[in-house]
Chains A and B, each alone.
Chain A
């Protein structure tokens, strides 16, 4: 068979003549694949590096013992070290210590410091051993020495021998940089000290963060772990390395999955574009295909021919996309590190690892999307009767099948019902499926809708409007399918943009309101932005409250609790809570027990929404928490909204907490000022206190600005992905219009013959483009609004465990809509120019 030759003749001939359309398809697929692949590569690199960093901190231990609270009594250490089956016990005190004088968001103001016993750690985590100067070997045990990773040295701008100031409570601790570490991950900011020195310097005498265990050979880990867990009781967790990895991966999983999904939106939009381009290209060539069928090309050969065309475009596009994605990921990682805005991966320097398996997946995705886009038109072309197709004017007939509304309605209905399903593995899989189905259904319904709408408009408008408008409308009303195909890309991208914009705005407005609610005081004081070493002693609290100009001072104590070894720690916040109405203190959801009805034998706690989703802490539930020496009985008295801690937070009365734990320190203070006092006056007098230089002050407005700044930064990447989706959507408009106008060359020729001017044809084009895009925008808005409901009320609560109120960003949406409208009209115009540039006579004679 000479089919290879025939195929290549047909393909080359087609692409030579319609290079732009082929390029558009390739670009769309390449962009989609590239974005998806790049985001995946960056996220994977970041999480792997993050895991490696975490792993480097725990070394080659088999098990870890931790307390449910941040630290526990060190006397567990000798017991574990001498326990049967334990080869080595490595005690670790791990602290995030505040660096005075640094500003910015919370991740950047603390240094992770490990207090290690070099004699134990050297065989369990040999890379974390300090390397002192040749003449100062004792520095590895010295009380004032700290060893820093290269990244930490660079970040803190210190070198061996330099002093390093750290903040502990209101005090400053001065250490000396004694050297580097044996080996740390690139970008890993970490300091290592002698464990005895760390306990002393950071006021952690008698405390450990964890004990890492290496078991003897032949010891059954599961049995050992089970027995130990049982013996240690609820205050301790015995964690296997795998658990720890799960916890680390869990921290950012929702974020990563959502970003990946967002990145795939581009590919999804690309699929619509391929579909519309291929449909129009097949329609344009229906005579050619009919002739080939007459001359003896079988159905299967024709189907194969069109699919081959799609496959080649898909292959080229996907390969280009993989290359582009790899380059993008490499550049992103070298410029921004692994941080795409989620705040999970700061301070690490991952490198891209080309993973052929994932590359294959994305290649198949890209190719699959192209084939899928080509399949329907190919099937249609292969099953067309060649004899009638040889006659002209069958284009619209070929698209008649698109008009059936039932598959579209089925998609919409299925999508709607999927929104009722719960998450899988804490991920809103069904939510995303519902979004995809809504998009497909919405777009599939387009032909029917546009026919209805344009016919209606036609009836209303014709009597009064100019010829050209009438012509444009006539065509749109009578040939709705081609119009609808052109709409697909615009609709897909615009509805996604609308959905994202509504979601982000709702989120932002909710966060802003929430911030206003949780920041009622006039001034906030803390000893350092964050870290494990901050805190005010009871004496300092007294002095602070007594400062003149302050009418009321609330103090907060926050600490970490680990309730589940496979999940990140939750935050426990102890503070004064207004018992007459907790809603005065906390941003409550509607769920709360009236204080008067609370049981007397249990301590009330108020939990964030995440606690309900992740730990099942439903309203009114009785539970025990590892606070203080003995586990006490608590009751969930209410649920509050928390946008700050997606892994869960619990609030309780400060007095309850102090009575239970005996921990009288506080971290932060909220100050209400007397009426005629300004914050700066109070700041001045507080700074004069003996510990005043260690205090940091922020006014609610600053905190709000900072928080919203972080918020905006974390959504930057989503804006970028949206922009790409819009570009692909516009590419779709360009491709559709140029394909259509080429197909309509003859039609334009006839119009020119009967006396329509070139300018009139062009304005007809622009009007058609504008009307189509206008409809696309209106429908896209409706569809996008529906999708945003899913994002706001399903995807967000299911992935991040917080709810929010819906808010619509009218201004931004209208701006985007206008830009889209103008660009679409311009695109249509430019494509039209090409069609009317030729000789009108030739245009008529040119059959196809």
Chain B
């Protein structure tokens, strides 16, 4: 569903980060991308999300070249097809949990009834049933990231982009969040890209990729895959 073709990108200061990177992500595939700091993981995510444009190459989603879209078209594509989970949660402080979760559906102009139903459903799925009217400051970090996951998936996007989603969390909570995210991605039939520098985190995905100067290379981890499948 996602196809990267010969992507090249340099920082504003001229330092090259990505060179001739190609990769194809299949439907309902959940991969993690590992790599050293500064190798361009976040930049790659921004490029895929249409928040940034590559210097060369193109990115296709379901056969549509997003790199040639203007900002409005890219924005519309993003609001429909993508879900985001950030390291810093990014939950709007003056909106209730329900309102935060409902944002993408609202942006997509979904009917009110559907929004209500989906929000209630998502709240249940992330284990915060009945706390929809709470404000973000009443929640712990783990709870905030659950809200973010619900927000990322409420509009049934094709692709979830998660950038170090557990970076601000303790390891127990992190594990729970990763499991929840995986479950939600799978249950909602989405694809997912999880960017992290942590091996433990990366292995919660179906497939682990490593980003180096030479491009994306998979590390097949039967062990982790098996272990998830056993659960």
Give me the interface of A with B, judged by CB distance under 8 Å: 1-3, 5-6, 9-10, 13-14, 16-17, 287-288, 291-300, 385-387, 390, 842, 846-848
Query: When A2-B115, A300-B72 are in contact, do A847 and B104 touch as well, CB less than 8 Å?
Result: no
Q: Are B49 and A294 in contact (CB under 8 A)?
A: yes
Q: Are A297 and B94 in contact (CB under 8 A)?
A: no
Inter-chain pairs besides A296-B80, A298-B75, 14 sampled, C-beta below 8 Å: A2-B112, A3-B106, A6-B106, A10-B92, A292-B103, A293-B75, A294-B84, A296-B104, A296-B108, A297-B107, A298-B71, A298-B76, A385-B51, A390-B88
Residues of B within 8 Å of A287, CB to CB, are 90
Q: Within the complex, which residue of B90, B94, B103, B106 is in contact with A16, where a contact is CB–CB below 8 Å? A: B94
Residues of A within 8 Å of B93, CB to CB, are 17, 288, 846-848
Pairs A–B under 8 Å by Cβ, sample size 21: A2-B109, A3-B106, A5-B106, A10-B92, A10-B94, A10-B95, A13-B99, A287-B90, A292-B103, A293-B75, A294-B78, A294-B84, A295-B78, A299-B71, A300-B72, A385-B51, A385-B52, A387-B46, A390-B86, A847-B93, A848-B93
In angstroms, how far is the closest chain A Cβ from the Cβ of B103? 6
Which B residues, 3 to 59, have Cβ-Cβ distances below 8 Å to chain A?
46, 49, 51-52
Q: Are B90 and A390 in contact (CB under 8 A)?
A: yes
Identify which of A287, A291, A846 gathers the most chain B CB atoms within 10 Å of its CB. Answer: A291
Q: Are B105 and A2 in contact (CB under 8 A)?
A: yes
Residues of A within 8 Å of B80, CB to CB, are 296
B129 interfacial by beta-carbon distance below 8 Å: no
Query: When A6-B103, A298-B72 are in contact, do A387 and B88 touch as well, CB less than 8 Å?
Result: no
Q: Are B75 and A297 in contact (CB under 8 A)?
A: yes
**Whose C-beta in chain A lies nearest to the C-beta of B47?**
A387
In angstroms, how far is the closest chain A Cβ from the Cβ of B136? 9
Q: Are A296 and B76 in contact (CB under 8 A)?
A: yes
Identify which of B72, B86, B99, B103 gathers the most chain A CB atoms within 10 Å of its CB. Answer: B103
CB-based closest 7 A-B pairs: A296-B79, A13-B94, A1-B109, A2-B106, A387-B51, A296-B107, A298-B75
Residues of B within 8 Å of A10, CB to CB, are 92, 94-95
Q: How far is the CA of A417 from the CA of B5 in the complex (A)?
A: 59
Query: When A16-B94, A847-B89 are in contact, do A9 and B99 touch as well, CB less than 8 Å?
Result: yes
Q: Within the complex, which residue of B75, B84, B137 is in contact with A299, where a contact is CB–CB below 8 Å? A: B75
B222 interfacial by beta-carbon distance below 8 Å: no
In angstroms, how far is the closest chain A Cβ from the Cβ of B149? 14
Q: How far is the CA of A390 from the CA of B79 in the complex (A)?
A: 17
Q: Are A2 and B51 in contact (CB under 8 A)?
A: no
Q: Are A295 and B84 in contact (CB under 8 A)?
A: yes
In angstroms, how far is the closest chain A Cβ from the Cβ of B161? 10
B110 interfacial by beta-carbon distance below 8 Å: yes
Residues of A within 8 Å of B92, CB to CB, are 10, 13, 288, 291
Q: How far is the CA of A14 from the CA of B93 in the complex (A)?
A: 9
Q: How far is the CA of A806 from the CA of B137 in the complex (A)?
A: 59
Q: Within the complex, which residue of B72, B76, B78, B88 is in contact with A847, where a contact is CB–CB below 8 Å? A: B88
In angstroms, how far is the closest chain A Cβ from the Cβ of B190? 16
Residues of A within 8 Å of B49, CB to CB, are 294
Which B residues, 61 to 100, have Cβ-Cβ distances below 8 Å to chain A?
71-72, 75-76, 78-80, 84, 86, 88-90, 92-95, 99
Residues of A within 8 Å of B86, CB to CB, are 390
**Whose C-beta in chain B lies nearest to the C-beta of A11?**
B94
Residues of B within 8 Å of A387, CB to CB, are 46, 51-52
In angstroms, how far is the closest chain B Cβ from the Cβ of A13? 3
Q: Are B94 and A295 in contact (CB under 8 A)?
A: no
In angstroms, how far is the closest chain B Cβ from the Cβ of A546? 90
**Whose C-beta in chain A lies nearest to the C-beta of B115?**
A2
Residues of B within 8 Å of A291, CB to CB, are 90, 92
In angstroms, how far is the closest chain B Cβ from the Cβ of A834? 16
In angstroms, how far is the closest chain A Cβ from the Cβ of B176? 20
**Whose C-beta in chain B lies nearest to the C-beta of A287?**
B90
Q: Are B51 and A386 in contact (CB under 8 A)?
A: yes
Residues of A within 8 Å of B84, CB to CB, are 294-295
**Whose C-beta in chain A lies nearest to the C-beta of B106?**
A2
Residues of A within 8 Å of B107, CB to CB, are 2-3, 6, 295-297
Q: Are A846 and B137 in contact (CB under 8 A)?
A: yes
Q: Are B52 and A295 in contact (CB under 8 A)?
A: no
In angstroms, how far is the closest chain A Cβ from the Cβ of B154? 11
Q: How far is the CA of A288 from the CA of B93 in the complex (A)?
A: 9
Residues of B within 8 Å of A5, CB to CB, are 106, 112
In angstroms, how far is the closest chain B Cβ from the Cβ of A382? 10
Q: How far is the CA of A744 from the CA of B116 in the complex (A)?
A: 36
In angstroms, how far is the closest chain A Cβ from the Cβ of B25? 20
Residues of A within 8 Å of B52, CB to CB, are 385, 387
Q: How far is the CA of A386 from the CA of B51 in the complex (A)?
A: 7
Q: How far is the CA of A387 from the CA of B94 in the complex (A)?
A: 21
Q: How far is the CA of A10 from the CA of B112 in the complex (A)?
A: 17
**Whose C-beta in chain B lies nearest to the C-beta of A391?**
B88
**Whose C-beta in chain A lies nearest to the C-beta of B94?**
A13
**Whose C-beta in chain B lies nearest to the C-beta of A845?**
B141
Which B residues, 155 to 179, have Cβ-Cβ distances below 8 Å to chain A?
none
Q: How far is the CA of A848 from the CA of B88 in the complex (A)?
A: 10
Identify which of A9, A10, A297, A300 gathers the most chain B CB atoms within 10 Å of its CB. Answer: A9
Residues of A within 8 Å of B151, CB to CB, are 295
Q: Are A14 and B94 in contact (CB under 8 A)?
A: yes
Residues of B within 8 Å of A848, CB to CB, are 93
Q: How far is the CA of A5 from the CA of B112 in the complex (A)?
A: 10
Q: How far is the CA of A14 from the CA of B94 in the complex (A)?
A: 7
In angstroms, how far is the closest chain B Cβ from the Cβ of A301? 8
Residues of B within 8 Å of A390, CB to CB, are 86, 88, 90
Q: How far is the CA of A296 from the CA of B84 in the complex (A)?
A: 11
Which B residues, 167 to 202, have Cβ-Cβ distances below 8 Å to chain A?
none
Residues of A within 8 Å of B110, CB to CB, are 2
**Whose C-beta in chain A lies nearest to the C-beta of B168?**
A845
Q: Are B75 and A296 in contact (CB under 8 A)?
A: yes
Residues of B within 8 Å of A298, CB to CB, are 71-72, 75-76
Q: How far is the CA of A805 from the CA of B71 in the complex (A)?
A: 60
Q: How far is the CA of A232 from the CA of B41 in the complex (A)?
A: 97
**Whose C-beta in chain A lies nearest to the C-beta of B72?**
A298
Residues of A within 8 Å of B51, CB to CB, are 294, 385-387
Q: How far is the CA of A294 from the CA of B107 in the complex (A)?
A: 11
Q: Are B72 and A299 in contact (CB under 8 A)?
A: yes
Q: How far is the CA of A3 from the CA of B137 in the complex (A)?
A: 25
**Whose C-beta in chain B lies nearest to the C-beta of A842?**
B137
Q: Are B109 and A295 in contact (CB under 8 A)?
A: no
Q: How far is the CA of A16 from the CA of B72 in the complex (A)?
A: 30
Residues of A within 8 Å of B90, CB to CB, are 287, 291, 390, 847
